[in-house]
Chains A and B, each alone.
Chain A
Amino acid sequence: DGGITQSPKYLFRKEGQNVTLSCEQNLNHDAMYWYRQDPGQGLRLIYYSQIVNDFQKGDIAEGYSVSREKKESFPLTVTSAQKNPTAFYLCASNSDRGNTGELFFGEGSRLTVL
């Protein structure tokens, strides 16, 4: 079945460490996105990529980095520069060839900084 796979589902990190969250999709979607969700809040866009080897900052990109070397993959690195990294991270993709361009989400990665 086609979908988006995120890993790990749960991750614990010590302060000062970088961590990388994996996102893989087999939907043949051109565009991929990373969002952050804090308790009781909506999604905020971190980074997005509309095509391989290109990506743009979203609303809260500081302290994060991404790469898009393959169409299927869009990993997110949470760096030590991110002041408050504990959150639920969601990866999504969509296709502008779809009817509405609705987002398809992965199951999420919950990062906790100890």
Chain B
Amino acid sequence: GQNIDQPTEMTATEGAIVQINCTYQTSGFNGLFWYQQHAGEAPTFLSYNVLDGLEEKGRFSSFLSRSKGYSYLLLKELQMKDSASYLCAVDPFGNAGKSTFGDGTTLTVKP
């Protein structure tokens, strides 16, 4: 079976750093995606981790520990436009379209 856990909501202040955690228990694991979804819009790709470690991409970084079934998305220098839902998705078979999605973490950035 597949089980993915993320916090439901988080709040942070503009300019701060926030870490969104994702833990997973899946029958297979090929990689882990993070997507950003603004309210009422389509998700957009942020990152994909296959190997353990931290991958940095501008203000956003993503970390993976395969042995612990754990990932996090780190957002630095928060901006108001970062207010969105962040979806963690596990790709168990090497087919991104068959990923199992978590319920998402709604991040609210306050001034």
- B73 CB to nearest A CB, Å: 15
What chain A residues lie within 8 Å of B8 (beta carbons)?
A: 40
| Interface check A31, CB cutoff 8 A | yes
- A69 CB to nearest B CB, Å: 19
- A56 CB to nearest B CB, Å: 9
What chain A residues lie within 8 Å of B42 (beta carbons)?
A: 90, 105-108
| Interface check B97, CB cutoff 8 A | yes
Total inter-chain residue pairs, C-beta < 8 Å: 63
What chain A residues lie within 8 Å of B24 (beta carbons)?
A: none
Contact A105 B97 (CB under 8 A): no
Of chain A, the residue at the smallest CB distance from B49 is A100
- Interface bits B40-67 vs A (CB < 8 Å: 1, else 0): 1111110010000000000000000000
Contact A101 B43 (CB under 8 A): no
Contact A42 B103 (CB under 8 A): yes
Contact A102 B48 (CB under 8 A): yes
What chain A residues lie within 8 Å of B91 (beta carbons)?
A: 101
Of chain A, the residue at the smallest CB distance from B91 is A101
A41, A48, A102: most-surrounded residue (chain B CB, <10 A): A102
Of chain A, the residue at the smallest CB distance from B2 is A59
What chain B residues lie within 8 Å of A60 (beta carbons)?
A: none
Contact B96 A94 (CB under 8 A): yes
Which of A58, A90, A102, A108 lies in contact with B33, CB distance below 8 A? A102
| Interface check B27, CB cutoff 8 A | no
Pull 30 A–B residue pairs with CB atoms less than 8 Å apart, ordered by A. Answer: A31-B97, A40-B103, A41-B103, A42-B4, A42-B89, A42-B101, A42-B104, A43-B101, A45-B98, A48-B97, A48-B98, A58-B98, A90-B43, A100-B31, A100-B45, A100-B96, A101-B91, A101-B94, A101-B95, A101-B96, A101-B97, A102-B33, A102-B45, A102-B96, A103-B97, A104-B45, A105-B43, A106-B42, A107-B42, A108-B42
Chain A residues packing against B (C-beta within 8 Å): 31, 33, 40-45, 48, 58, 90, 92, 94, 99-108, 110
Chain B residues packing against A (C-beta within 8 Å): 4, 8, 31, 33, 35, 40-45, 48, 87, 89, 91, 94-99, 101-104
